[in-house]
Amino acid sequence: MIRYIFQRLLGLLPVLLGITLLIFVLLRLIPGDPAVALMGERATPAQLDAFREQMGLNEPLPLQYLSFLGNLLRLDFGYSIVTGIPIVAEIGRRWAASFELATAALLFAIVVGIPAGVIAAVRKDKWVDNLAMTGSLIGVSMPVYWLGLLLIYLFAVNLGWLPPSGRLGISVGSNFQTFTGLYVLDAILQLNFTALIDVLAHLVLPAIALGTIPLAIVARLTRSAMLEVLSQDYIRTARAKGLLERWVVLKHALKNALLPVITIIGLQFGALLSSAILTEIIFSWPGIGSWVYKGILERDYPVVQGGVFFVSVTFVLINLLVDISYALFDPRIQYK
Amino acid sequence: MASTKIWLLRLRSSQRLSLSVQMMWVGIVITLLFVLVALFAPTLQAWGWLQNPMTTLTNPIHEPPSAAHWFGTSRQGYDVFSRTLFGTRAALQVVVLATALSLVVGVPLGMLSGYLGGRLDRLLLFLMDTIYTLPGLLLSVTLAFVVGRGVLNAAIALSIAYVPQYYRVVRNHTVSVKTELFIEAAQAMGASTWTVLSRYLFLNVIQSVPVLFTLNAADAVLVLGGLGFLGLGLPEQTPEWGMDLRQALDALPTGIWWTALFPGLALTSLVVGLSLVGEGLNEFVNPLLRRE
């Protein structure tokens, strides 16, 4: 097993190298002079020269790539052109917000998606099934940047039940301490329940908006996995033994149907981190996504590069974790 | 020609088949409707039935839907109905261009890589797998940021995420087909690589491509909207759903819903239509996937 994990980690290296190469090449694709693109049009020729020297832009490309790699290894992503804040510091400050949002969205998808899929499978071709599957088709087709607007209009503007944006209300914000950056956890640790309710209220709408696509995917997959399992012989045997139908479905079928579902849930988590960019803008969520967006608007190149690199690497690492845990849970997989 | 006939036969006999093949017809109708809107929007405008989507000055600002402006007007005084219809044009243009582009790059690369094998194959596989491991939206956003705005630029930004898919399907198909007897026969008769690829391999390795094409088109509509929402993609004034939705976000707290509702509804419907077509096609190109 350890050997298997080691091999998978080793297999990760070329992929990571590929990602750095891709990002490096993309950076060099900017039309015109990268120094001008990075420093802005107003920079003087002397400033540009100094900048080229400092960034090593006068070196040959392979050398530039090597020093780029070296910087990455030392976790040196450079500085934001606009604010001057180191990229690493900004990522450290913001990743928790994105992580919390993605986790909440995934929880929503699991809690609603798996039961919906099970019910749809048990009532195959009945109206519940058709409703769930139509719903999931619309769910995957609805962009988060539309669903988010609809949710804000309905629940924040019209009904006034939930806050439309941000992570924390003003009244709570002043006496709320953060340690981990995960506000839900922070509120629980401090036993501050007014803050907890406020934090959760801020989390609901973005989590639903972001979680809808994975919800639809989880529901569909659970349904098809359940249908396959329910047609197996051992289910017939269980029924023949006179077991309660509920027992057969939940204990005998669902347990076996969940394996592919768990895989897809893990993979969705990585995908969520990238679609969180859009969700964070809609709900003014102070995570990695809204920071990259600001970087895009201000053409702040190091910010975009650092953000994209961070999300890509997280994505690849999470996928690897999923693969390994899949091997742990499924005894049929051989670690060769 | 013969293959077209078989397709039509399958199409006819499939009507009794599964739900998703039936739903495919719904998808085709929806998609055709959008194609018609895209084609005839300029004509409608020429007849004076539709306002110019770029006109702002003569319109009242933020007016709710009325007889004069069916979907209301936006903060800049755009007619939302006209913007929504013209948005179809932008979406279809970019999406067709993007999927065509990834097809034109991915299919030949896949064939060459699979047929020639060796070092080229390994290099391309590595490259494509790297691109494939990354989330598509992120790649497109990065590329769109680098290449700037414009129809072709947006199409290029979208296509980068789809090239590896065509490449992989076609490459794997080529690897399995190239050992068939008819390929060996062609080689023995002295056919050049080009002849083998274009005459004997091509039609045998592209069966799955139409499915990928429609499913990618559905995804591309979503990603293009996402780019627009991020202020990337098409030029500022062009009617495009994603960008219009970004504008709608700012007006939402004051209770202005019409600028958000209609462009999003159009976008979602088009995606539903294309997905239905793609899934229906999938069932019949790959009958093995059909569930009982």
B150-164 per-position pLDDT tens digit: 888 889 889 988 999
The answer, yes or no, to whether residue A277 has pLDDT greater than 70, is yes
> CB distance from A145 to chain B under 8 Å?
yes
Q: Which domains does chain A have, with CATH numbers?
A: 93-302 (1.10.3720.10)
Interchain contact, A22 vs B231, CB within 8 Å = no
Residue A79 CA to residue A88 CA, distance in Å, equals: 8
- B210, B4 contact by CB (below 8 A): no
- The torsion angle over the Cα atoms of residues B188, B189, B195 and B196, rounded to 10 degrees, is -30
Output the CA torsion B90→B92→B93→B96 (10° steps).
Answer: 150
Interchain contact, B130 vs A282, CB within 8 Å: no
Residue A335 above 90 pLDDT? Answer: no
User: Which tens digits make up the pLDDT trace of A218-255?
Assistant: 998 899 888 888 888 888 888 888 888 887 888 778 88
- Whether residue A36 is predicted with pLDDT greater than 90 in this model: the reply is no
Handedness of CA A324, A329, A330, A334 (dihedral sign): positive
Q: Which of residues 24-43 of B touch A (CB under 8 A)?
A: none
- Residue B10 has a pLDDT of 53
pLDDT given at position A101: 92
A197 touches chain B (CB under 8 A): no
Among residues 21-50 of chain A, which lie with CB inside 8 Å of chain B?
21-23, 26-27, 29-31
Lowest mean pLDDT among A91-95, A318-322, B34-38: A318-322
Q: What would the mean pLDDT of B72-91 be, rounded to a whole number? A: 81
In which band, very low, low, confident or very high, does the pLDDT at B231 lie, cut at 50, 70 and 90?
confident
Q: A166 pLDDT exceeds 90?
A: no
Q: What is the CA radius of gyration of chain B?
A: 22
pLDDT in tens, B122-135: 888 888 888 887 88
State how far the Cα of B245 lies from the Cα of B263, in Å rounded to an integer.
7
**Looking at per-residue confidence, does B51 or B209 come out higher?**
B209
The DSSP-derived string for A83-133 is T--BHHHHHHHHHHHHHHHHHHHHHHHHHHHHHHHHHHHHTTTSHHHHHHH
- Flag whether pLDDT at A152 surpasses 80: yes
- Chain-chain contact of B133 with A315 (C-beta, under 8 angstroms): yes
pTM: 0.84
- Whether chain A has a CB inside 8 Å of the CB on B85: the answer is no
pLDDT at B98 (0 to 100): 92
Q: Which residue of A has its CA nearest to B219?
A: A141
State the SS3 of A231-300: CCHHHHHHHHCCCCHHHHHHHHHHHHHHHHHHHHHHHHHHHHHHHHHHHHHHCCCCCHHHHHHHHHHCCC
Does the distance separating the beta carbons of B130 and A22 come in below 8 Å? yes
User: Is some CB atom of chain B closer than 8 A to the CB atom of A178?
Assistant: no
Instruction: Write the single-letter amino acid at A238.
Output: A
Contact B260 A149 (CB under 8 A): yes
Task: Flag whether the ipTM exceeds 0.85.
Answer: no
Mean pLDDT, rounded, for A12-39: 74
* Contact residues, chain B, for A141 at CB < 8 Å: 218, 222, 268, 271-272, 275
Per residue in A281-313, pLDDT (tens digit) is: 999 888 898 898 888 888 777 888 888 888 888
> Is any Cβ of chain A less than 8 angstroms from the Cβ of B163?
no
Chain A CB within 8 Å of residue B49 CB: no
Q: Do B272 and A138 touch (CB under 8 A)?
A: yes
Do B148 and A31 lie within an 8 Å CB cutoff? yes
| B130 inside 8 A of chain A by CB | yes
Where does residue A59 fall: left (phi above 0), alpha (psi -120 to 50 degrees), or beta otherwise? Answer: beta
In terms of Cα–Cα distance, which of B223, B186, B211, B190 is closest to B201? B186
- What is the torsional sign of CA A303, B148, A18, A64? negative
pLDDT at B32: 92
- The burial of B236, by beta-carbon neighbours within 10 Å (0-12 exposed, 13-18 middle, 19 or more buried), is given as exposed
Domain of residue B106, residue span: 2-290
What is the C-alpha separation between A311 and B230, in angstroms, rounded? 17
Q: Chain B interface, mutation test: which of A12, A127, A145, A158, most B Cβ atoms within 10 Å?
A: A145
The count of domains in chain B is 1
CATH number at residue B56: 1.10.3720.10
The runs of H, that is alpha helices, within chain B are 2-13, 19-46, 80-116, 118-133, 136-147, 151-159, 163-177, 181-188, 193-195, 202-205, 209-229, 241-251, 258-285
Give the mean model confidence (pLDDT) for residues A76-81.
Answer: 79
| Overall average pLDDT of the B91-110 stretch | 91
Q: State the average pLDDT over residues B224-233.
A: 88
